[in-house]
Amino acid sequence: MISLGLEPEDEVICPAINFKASPLAVLGQGAKLVFCEIDPHTFNCDSADVERRITPNTRAIFPVHMNGLSAPMDDLLDIAERYPHPTHGPLKVIGDAARACGGYKETKIGKKGWMNVFSFHTMKLMTTLGEGGMITTDDPELAKMLRGIRQWGNEADTWGSSYKMTKVQASSRKCPIKSS
């Protein structure tokens, strides 16, 4: 959400049934949170309801890939193209992939959208010795900005902090799992 440069009148659409981290990310940046309904069969956001909630102030769609199933990214990307923001152009689709990894149609979760955010935690599909995460994107300018945000702002002309894993957390990705 930091990378969007949100203003108080900006809106981000997020599913109503969700863990609090995604909506709080929007609110933490001072933007207006707009909840959308979910598909009762998948618990992913309902694309038709997302489309109904778009206004000229909508800046992003923030679907959550739920319980191992991908959000309907192709539908959401199509909606984002059809309803551009009057100043910022096409809406950004940012996937929250904390609860899913794997395939989506002909590709993988994390490939579709402006970016996808993965969470590494003992309660998630990917784990570390504590907390951690990863962001996937094909946008080189966004990647540069995200590296700057992570590393005290030194790679991008933006605010940053230290959002890095400890050496022990980073090394846990290399440790083989032994069965007893």
| Residues annotated as catalytic (active site), given as ranges | 124
Q: Which helix (H) or strand (E) holds 58?
A: strand 58-61
Residue 61 and residue 75 in contact, taking contact as beta carbons nearer than 8 Å: no
Residue 115 and residue 138 in contact, taking contact as beta carbons nearer than 8 Å: no
Residue 96 and residue 74 in contact, taking contact as beta carbons nearer than 8 Å: no
CA–CA gap between residue 24 and residue 33 (Å, rounded): 9
b (16+ CB within 10 A) / e for 108-141: ebbbbbbbbbbbbeeebbeebbeebbebbbeeee
CA distances from 157 to 1, 8, 53, 67, 88 (A): 16, 21, 33, 36, 19
